[in-house]
A and B are shown apart, each in its own frame.
Chain A
Amino acid sequence: GAGVSQSPSNKVTEKGKDVELRCDPISGHTALYWYRQSLGQGLEFLIYFQGNSAPDKSGLPSDRFSAERTGGSVSTLTIQRTQQEDSAVYLCASSLGGQPSNTQYFGPGTRLTVL
């Protein structure tokens, strides 16, 4: 079966441009997470979707960051007016439910470089 997929795998953009990163979760998984991993660091939580509930946006670092999840499946993370400090690997994960006992399965990530 297919795992979590993300696209693009790499994105290079100029400072000030907007970018969209896509995540396709595992079919049937109701929970979807976005994390950011800066070079040499652990993962930093950004946003969480669970079913039709309002997303938990508590990890978004600024209002330039937003995310949507359409139809309870595919999610898009948008970064507006990118800055150099936004350069990182953006990882998406999905799980069967939102409980801590539900294993989060990660995609390969999108490496974003802001010049």
Chain B
Amino acid sequence: GQQLNQSPQSMFIQEGEDVSMNCTSSSIFNTWLWYKQEPGEGPVLLIALYKAGELTSNGRLTAQFGITRKDSFLNISASIPSDVGIYFCAGPDQTGANNLFFGTGTRLTVIP
């Protein structure tokens, strides 16, 4: 199946530190998405990657689409308390269906 494995499962960092998390798959994905979910809310799209090797930034967030198409990473620079949440990677079903597969998430806690 098209499973996405995220690491680490959780992170506790001091405010101001940089954060790195990654997502790997045994299958090739043609699109990688990174979402953030805050308590009581649905996930919100942060960054979308459509091309192998692509490096995309959104403010303090930077994500890369791995050259093998089987991995992606997300970096957050100079973390702030509002970065707290669960970060999910996701990719579209490669069988032609229209749903997204989601990773199990990385829970980020930022200590002020």
Contacts and interface: CB of A to CB of B under 8 A. Distances in A.
B: interface residue count bin: 20 to 34
Contacts of B30: 100
Contacts, number: 62
Contacts of B4: 42
A72 interface: no
A56 B97 contact: yes
Nearest to A59: B99
A62 interface: no
Contacts of A100: 30-31, 92, 98
Contacts of B43: 43, 91, 106
Nearest to A41: B104
20 contacts: A33-B99, A33-B100, A35-B102, A42-B88, A42-B102, A42-B105, A43-B43, A43-B100, A44-B102, A45-B93, A45-B101, A48-B97, A48-B98, A50-B98, A56-B98, A98-B98, A103-B48, A106-B42, A107-B42, A108-B42
Interface of A: 4, 31, 33, 35, 40-45, 48, 50, 56, 58-59, 91, 93, 98, 100-101, 103-109
